[in-house]
Amino acid sequence: MSALLLTLNGVRLQIGATALFENASLNVGERARIALVGRNGSGKSTLMKIAAGLIEPDTGDRFVHPGVTLRYLPQEPDASGYATIGDYARAGLDETGKGHEAETLLQELGLNPAAAPEKLSGGELRRAAIVQALAAEPDVLFLDEPTNHLDLPAIAWLEEKLRSLPCAMVIISHDRRFLETVTNDTVWIDRGETRRAGCGFREFEAWRDKFLEEEEVALHKLGRKIAAEEHWMRYGVTARRKRNMRRVGELQSMRTNLREAKRVQGGPAFSVQTGGASGKRAIVADHVSKSFGGRKIVDDFSVEIARGDRIGLVGPNGAGKTTLINLLIGALEPDEGSIKLGTNLEIVSLDQRRARLRPDMRVADAVNDGTGDWVMINGEKRHVATYLKDFLFGPEQWRQPVEALSGGERGRLALAAALAKPSNLLVLDEPTNDLDLETLEMLEEQLSAYDGTLLLISHDRAFLDNLVTSVIATDPDKPGRWLRYAGGYDDMVAQRGSAPGLEGAAPKQKQKSSAPVAKPKPAAKTKLSYKEQYALEKLPGEIDKLQAEIATLKTKLDDPNLFARDAALFDKTAKTLAAAEASLAAKEEEWLMLEMKREELEG
């Protein structure tokens, strides 16, 4: 077992009349990579500040092993008081002889050390703060939302850098893919207590669901009554997550339709007919170009978007994702080319800055535009308090002013307001900002049930993979050019051979990540191997056979008398069904990978 570098034990902290923690603990060992998770308002950042020595708890013990150095990355970095970004990044490092490391990291992240902090964007300031934390080479690194305001290339760079460091880490992040990649342990703050999962975030959600299920059973056995609101807010997450698994099959089918359309059209800008009622065109862009200040943001872009398409836009910060989406929905005129919008479009947008939420308005008024306490959702009249409960707001919050809400709650309210308005084209610009993990799951459920067209800008790779059927991304070889790829974010990376590169990064860093891709000989292949081709031809038949078998097994299990008549047969049939469904998922995934590989080789 690794030596403990830092421990918290029996921590209690009361804020106002409420105890945020009653008996919290945290043990950080050598090379530990801990994800600190919990709902918004559960105290994640506060516990991290206690561990970092920035806040004193009311009671409890904190021990740091002698000689251990700590470094803390705040959620909101402050570079005021520094003349240049280089001075900020080297703060406290020059006397340790580590100032040169800060210079190297600034270069890798494309930052000018001489730049004035007040002129930096949120993403650039976040990068500079990351440099300051990493360059110190501490024994324990505390990172509070390190991916906030970072684009996908910068997140990929940070993942690789953290995985190479020998220090221990405690990380708070809403980026699930980031936590899955970096962490090997999870501490969950739940109802004022800390619970150690003993696994990385990749396995945490399954562990949490099992814990909640076992706790619910235990509570029922003891005859204790759980309040209805608490039951829904906590145990409903498990049920929602299980229902979301059905989307895997639906997305598989939709992505298959897109690949077939791509084969017919034979180019990066292609028509998509997803079948039946979704065949009408929502947006048609024909050779569209747009420039600002002599810089080409969109260059000769053509695309046809069908009703029901779910499209993600990705690319580095400043590449023009918001500009492109505004062109597509008619909010911005192109310099060249034309944009045709489909008939009867009802467009609802969620802007990244949540500008439509006024601080003095009631929470309810944000949802129903101040028309009363009722809202129409899919033809059903619902009280605004009931509707807001779907977005994890308590019954007393709908009368509160917006200014009383936390950042995460404002994010949820903006989503609730956007989704309450009738639309058949939903435009979401960074909808996951400031949302906790449970709210992300809820949002995915809401959007997976949406019948209209979805245009989505997001840096959350898991969110993109779970929702979109195609991705529009920047062309790595030509600024201003955008390409469309079938599938989610991971599918896009597989088709283009790599993730979008970090513009302005040091050449060494790029060469290091791209070298392994350039070496293998198979890149010169022009067709599948005999074994792969045989599998590609054979798999559809096997998939059809498994689907028929699954349908038969489900019919047997639908018999309400089967269990009473033959419990052993019921159990055997259920196990056979589970095995068949697992086999079907594996074969569908194998077929999908082979089909994508075939397309890449032929394209």
3-state SS, 37-68, equals ECCCCCCHHHHHHHHCCCCCCCEEEEEECCCC
Residue 268 lies in a domain: yes
Query: 528-540 burial, b if ≥16 CB within 10 A, otherwise e?
Result: beeebeebbeebe
Q: Which two tokens stand for residue 110?
A: 């494309």
Q: Give the CA-trace dihedral at 127, 132, 136, 138, to 10 degrees.
A: -70
Three-state DSSP class for 21? strand
Task: Specify whether 331 is located in the same domain as 252.
Answer: yes
Question: Residues 264-313: pLDDT tens digits?
Answer: 333 222 222 222 233 378 999 999 999 988 889 999 999 999 988 999 99
Task: Specify whether 543 is located in the same domain as 560.
Answer: yes
- Please report the DSSP string for 286-327 in residue order: EEEEEEETTEEEEEEEEEEEETT-EEEEE-STTSSHHHHHHH
pLDDT at 227: 47
Residue 128 lies in a domain: no
Task: Specify whether 431 is located in the same domain as 416.
Answer: no
Task: Specify whether 535 is located in the same domain as 470.
Answer: no
Residue 375's H or E segment, with its range, is strand 374-377
* Residue 171 domain boundaries: 4-69+138-209
pLDDT at 26: 96
Task: Specify whether 307 is located in the same domain as 268.
Answer: yes
Task: Specify whether 319 is located in the same domain as 450.
Answer: yes
Question: Residues 370-407: pLDDT tens digits?
Answer: 777 888 877 788 888 888 887 778 777 888 888 888 76
Residue 211's H or E segment, with its range, is helix 201-221
The owner of tokens 């019921």 is 570
pLDDT at 472: 94
Task: Specify whether 427 is located in the same domain as 494.
Answer: yes
Residue 589 lies in a domain: yes
Residue 98 lies in a domain: no
Task: Specify whether 365 is located in the same domain as 377.
Answer: yes
Q: What is the DSSP letter of 141?
A: E
Check which CATH number belongs to the domain holding 192 and give it. 3.40.50.300
pLDDT at 363 exceeding the cut of 50: yes
The rounded distance, in Å, linking the Cα atoms of 443 and 36 is: 21
pLDDT at 2: 64
Task: Specify whether 294 is located in the same domain as 372.
Answer: no
Tell me the CB-side half-sphere exposure of residue 115, using CA atoms within 13 A.
18
Q: For residue 442, report the phi and psi dihedrals to the nearest 5 degrees.
A: -65, -45
Q: How many domains does the chain have?
A: 4
- Are 482 and 473 in contact by the 8 Å Cβ rule? The answer is yes
Average the pLDDT over 317-333 and give the result.
90
Check which CATH number belongs to the domain holding 587 and give it. 1.10.287.380
Task: Specify whether 499 is located in the same domain as 576.
Answer: no
* Residue (of 440, 447, 443) closest to 423 by Cα position: 447
The owner of tokens 């069904």 is 577
Q: Which residues contact 429 (CB under 8 A, 6 or more apart)?
A: 322, 325, 349, 350, 351, 352, 457
Pairing of strands 70-73, 140-144: parallel
Percent of the chain past pLDDT 70, that is, above it, reads 82
Task: Specify whether 501 is located in the same domain as 459.
Answer: yes
pTM of the full structure: 0.68
Residue 429 lies in a domain: yes
Q: Which two tokens stand for residue 392?
A: 């994890």
Residue 386 lies in a domain: yes
| Averaged confidence pLDDT in the chain | 80
Lowest mean pLDDT among 62-71, 106-115, 162-171, 412-421: 412-421
Domain boundary among 379, 398, 421: 421
Sign of CA dihedral 135, 136, 140, 142: negative
Strand order across the 281-292 sheet: 295-306, 281-292, 336-341
Three-state DSSP class for 236? helix
Residue 112 lies in a domain: no
Question: Residues 181-224: pLDDT tens digits?
Answer: 999 999 999 888 999 999 999 999 889 888 888 877 776 665 54
Question: Residues 29-39: pLDDT tens digits?
Answer: 999 999 999 88
pLDDT at 183: 95
Residue 217 lies in a domain: no
* Residue (of 421, 459, 469, 419) closest to 442 by Cα position: 419
pLDDT at 178 exceeding the cut of 90: yes
pLDDT at 159: 94
Task: Specify whether 176 is located in the same domain as 293.
Answer: no
pLDDT at 49: 95
Domain boundary among 421, 442, 477: 421
> How far is CA 563 from each of CA 335, 374, 550, 568, rounded to the nearest angstrom?
68, 46, 18, 8
Domain boundary among 191, 209, 227: 209
